[in-house]
């Protein structure tokens, strides 16, 4: 990459353009990935590591600017500062209070965490940033570690492909049919005050879980999605199927990392989705039939043709001639009104499976645990993130409501099968 490129502005990617217009203190559109080390974090060394690694990731050393037609990202020359971690999870990032940066680095005890605004990147991009940050931190501590072609280090040069909007790259104008959707069933509960977010994690054995899902002929994502549907059904809908609000379909929204399906090195948003879809108006729905349903729906949704269709549908909207030449101050209101009317109500819950996190073997001795969390908002008030590190499979629920019956019944499913589940929480109740 040309050295001058590092100070050039660049457009928000296709997926990232909507988030600045629809985000607020409740709908934060942020997510977190964190690592627990084997020793207390040294804030001074972490600060040095963060500043150093930003030279490798100029795509994250940016600020959001307003253009005449669209927002865009511009080089941010201000210093970056890490922050102590509080009980808050995936709260709104105020650029004015963060030297204009769209992500934060937190520390507390043995933990290093990154929270990022979705306009900047998706889960795949922030995992790469966290891996590099932890590597640089341990390197500055003097530990004998090596990147082993897994970690992007500050000694490397960024490449142009990391900046690309891969959605537009794989856009197909002939396969962009719009498929209308009905509003989804929305989980009910008592909202936590002051935009607080509750967090509960369950840790299981990765090997045990893989053995279980394979015995059913399912992927881990399919198993968890079906179980999520069943848990929502048993705690919220069953025996109350006559209610009008329960006639809407339960839709578990599952982001798909498109880097695993299309060749791309982009650090920007490059994900799509599959989702479940079932009106649960019977009183005798079983988990086994949901396994079959979800497997069939996900097999259909994960075909390359369907992934390209959904990707192209989004890009085609942006390429609309009237929208392209509409001034930004009009666009933002049109996007906000449309999203508030329907967009946030198309999903019951989101379930993000980041997958297997791998560090170089030389780093494993210094790392105990990895966690991911996604914000919970007004409409999608219970969300879930999943990842595995070695034999620790971590399922993390975030919620904007007080009730925890969905999480309780979800994890009870595994204890009823005789599996050990270790529970962690941010005990948000103590702060309200």
For residue range 290-305, what is the model confidence (pLDDT) as tens digits? 999 999 999 999 999 9
When pLDDT is averaged across residues 399-412 and rounded to a whole number, the result is 98
Q: What's this model's pTM, rounded to 2 decimal places? A: 0.93
Quote the pLDDT of residue 245. 87
Q: CATH assignment of 193-431?
A: 3.30.559.30
Distance, in Å, from the CA atom of 367 to the CA atom of 137, rounded to the nearest integer, reads 12
Beta strands 83-84 and 103-108: pairing type?
parallel
When pLDDT is averaged across residues 166-194 and rounded to a whole number, the result is 91
> By mean pLDDT, which of 210-214, 329-333, 370-374 is the weakest?
329-333
Q: Is the pLDDT of residue 14 over 80?
A: no
Count CA within 13 A, CB hemisphere, residue 258.
31
What token pair was written down for 140?
Answer: 């500055």
**Percentage of residues of the chain with pLDDT beyond 70:** 93
Sheet holding 367-374, edge to edge: 83-84, 103-108, 111-117, 30-37, 367-374
3-state secondary structure of 217: coil
Give the model confidence (pLDDT) of 246-266 as tens digits: 999 999 999 999 999 999 989
When pLDDT is averaged across residues 400-422 and rounded to a whole number, the result is 98
Confidence of residue 60 (pLDDT cuts 50, 70, 90): very high
> By mean pLDDT, which of 19-33, 182-196, 389-403 is the weakest?
19-33
Strand boundaries in 309-374, DSSP class E: 349-356, 367-374
Q: Is the pLDDT of residue 309 over 50?
A: yes
* Residue spans in the chain of domains classed CATH 3.30.559.30: 193-431
Question: Does CATH place domain 3-165 in 3.30.559.10?
Answer: yes
* Residue spans in the chain of domains classed CATH 3.30.559.10: 3-165
> By mean pLDDT, which of 175-179, 183-187, 287-291, 415-419 is the weakest?
175-179
User: For the chain, percent helix, then strand, then coil, each to nearest 5?
Assistant: 35, 20, 40
Give the model confidence (pLDDT) of 344-361 as tens digits: 789 999 999 999 999 999
């Amino acid at each position: 990459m040309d050295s001058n490129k590092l100070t050039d502005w660049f457009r928000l990617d296709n997926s990232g353009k909507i988030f600045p217009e629809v985000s607020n203190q409740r709908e934060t559109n942020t997510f977190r990935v964190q690592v627990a080390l084997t020793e207390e974090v040294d804030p001074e060394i972490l600060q040095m590591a963060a500043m150093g690694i930003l030279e490798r990731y100029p795509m994250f050393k940016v600020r959001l600017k307003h253009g005449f037609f669209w927002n865009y990202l511009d080089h941010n020359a201000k210093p970056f500062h890490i922050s102590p971690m509080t009980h808050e999870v995936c709260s709104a990032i105020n650029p004015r209070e963060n030297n204009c940066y769209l992500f934060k680095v937190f520390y507390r005890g043995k933990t290093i965490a990154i929270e990022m605004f979705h306009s900047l990147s998706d889960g795949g991009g922030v995992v790469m940033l966290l891996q590099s940050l932890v590597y640089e931190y341990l390197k500055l501590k003097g530990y004998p570690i090596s990147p082993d072609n897994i970690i992007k280090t500050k000694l490397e040069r960024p490449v142009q492909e990391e900046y690309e909007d891969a959605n537009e790259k794989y856009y197909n104008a002939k396969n962009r049919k719009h498929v209308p959707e009905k509003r989804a069933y929305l989980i009910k509960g008592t909202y936590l005050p002051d935009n607080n977010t509750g967090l509960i994690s369950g840790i299981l054995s990765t090997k045990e879980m893989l053995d279980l899902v394979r015995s059913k002929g399912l992927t881990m994502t399919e198993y968890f999605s079906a179980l999520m549907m069943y848990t929502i059904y048993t705690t919220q809908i069953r025996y109350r199927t006559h209610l009008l609000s329960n006639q809407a379909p339960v839709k578990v929204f599952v982001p798909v990392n498109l880097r695993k399906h299309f060749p791309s090195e982009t650090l920007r948003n490059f994900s799509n989705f599959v989702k479940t879809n079932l009106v649960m108006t019977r009183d005798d729905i079983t988990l086994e039939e949901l396994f079959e349903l979800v497997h069939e729906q996900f097999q259909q949704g994960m075909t390359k043709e369907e992934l390209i269709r959904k990707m192209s549908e989004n890009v085609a909207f942006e390429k609309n001639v009237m929208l392209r030449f509409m001034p930004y101050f009009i666009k933002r209101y049109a996007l906000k009104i449309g999203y508030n009317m329907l967009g946030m109500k198309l999903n019951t819950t989101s379930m993000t499976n980041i997958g297997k996190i791998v560090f170089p073997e030389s780093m494993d001795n210094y790392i105990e645990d990895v966690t991911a969390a996604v914000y919970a908002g007004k409409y999608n008030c219970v969300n879930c993130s999943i990842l595995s590190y070695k034999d620790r499979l971590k399922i993390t629920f975030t919620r904007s409501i007080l009730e925890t019956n969905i999480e309780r019944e979800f994890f009870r499913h595994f204890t009823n099968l005789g599996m050990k589940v270790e529970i962690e929480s941010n005990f948000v109740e103590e702060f309200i």
